[in-house]
Amino acid sequence: MPKVIINGPECSGKTTLCEYLVKKLDAGYIQEYPRIYLEMTDGRYDEEDLLIMAHDIDDLIDELDENRLWIIDTNNINIKIWYQYKYGALPNDLREMDNNRDAIHLLCSPDIPWEEDELRENPEDRDEIFDLYRKYMYEEEIKYHIVEGDNRLENTLAFLKALITLFCSFPVIKIVSLWIYKESLFCFDAIIARFVINIESLFLNISA
């Protein structure tokens, strides 16, 4: 089963989306590890703490059951963008850490109101940080789907259901859908929608 990883700037609806998808898809859930870590340090951190978080996140994801669908509230892409924005160039150790390229990546847009939180730092810079995510994922050729708009929860659920159905269906469809996912950089949702229509038409023609 695929893993679904959700990233984005602070207060962009990541955790709300995670909790919604976990309930609707009956999936396993990895909560936002940096928040758990910072709650233990009263919000204090430095460069070394970010590296510790990154290694811990790697270990958590590596140990997940491959036969279950998982919703993951941020991975090391979040740590990399955080480090880059706060401290500048990434150290080699962090730069080379796994991006979980084969997962389904969702990127939350900060198009919702800011809510104060004692662990949040950047109320004025969410758009800039969102652009850093997009730039990084483009440069690393990581495919992603943007979560945005008034119906973001329902639309994302529909997108994932279609994609997961392809991943888990007939072997040939699974192979082709995986190829599409790995080879297409952007407009992935549009490609999948067309692919679903073509597959449905194929089976209708066979049935006829």
Nearest Cα neighbor of 130 from 144, 150, 100, 110 is 110
Long-range contacts of 62-69 (CB under 8 A, 24+ apart): 64/3, 64/28, 64/30, 65/28, 66/1, 67/1, 68/1, 68/27, 68/28, 69/1, 69/2, 69/3, 69/4, 69/25, 69/26, 69/27, 69/28, 69/164
Domain count, the chain: 1
Give the predicted TM-score (pTM) of the model: 0.83
Full residue range of the structural domain in which residue 145 is found: 3-152
Q: Which tens digits make up the pLDDT trace of 54-70?
A: 999 999 999 999 999 99
pLDDT > 90 fraction of the chain, expressed in percent and rounded: 66
Which pLDDT score, from 0 to 100, does residue 182 have?
47
Which pLDDT score, from 0 to 100, does residue 101 have?
86
Domain membership flag for residue 117: yes
Domain membership flag for residue 191: no
Mean pLDDT of the 159-174 span = 70
| Confidence grade of residue 50 (pLDDT, cut at 50, 70, 90) | very high
Domain membership flag for residue 88: yes
Mean pLDDT of the 159-182 span = 63
Domain membership flag for residue 188: no
* Phi, psi for 70 (deg, rounded to 5): -125, 140
Domain membership flag for residue 130: yes
Question: Cα–Cα distance between 20 and 18 in angstroms, integer?
Answer: 5
Residues 85/50, Cβ–Cβ less than 8 Å: no
Domain membership flag for residue 144: yes
Q: What string of DSSP letters covers 150-171?
A: TTHHHHHHHHHHHHHHHHTS-H
Domain membership flag for residue 174: no
CATH number at 117 reads 3.40.50.300
| Statement: residue 170 has pLDDT above 60 | no
Domain membership flag for residue 115: yes
Question: Cα–Cα distance between 126 and 142 in angstroms, integer?
Answer: 21
Residues 126/10, Cβ–Cβ less than 8 Å: yes
Q: What are 7's strand-pairing partners? A: 107
Residues 41/171, Cβ–Cβ less than 8 Å: no
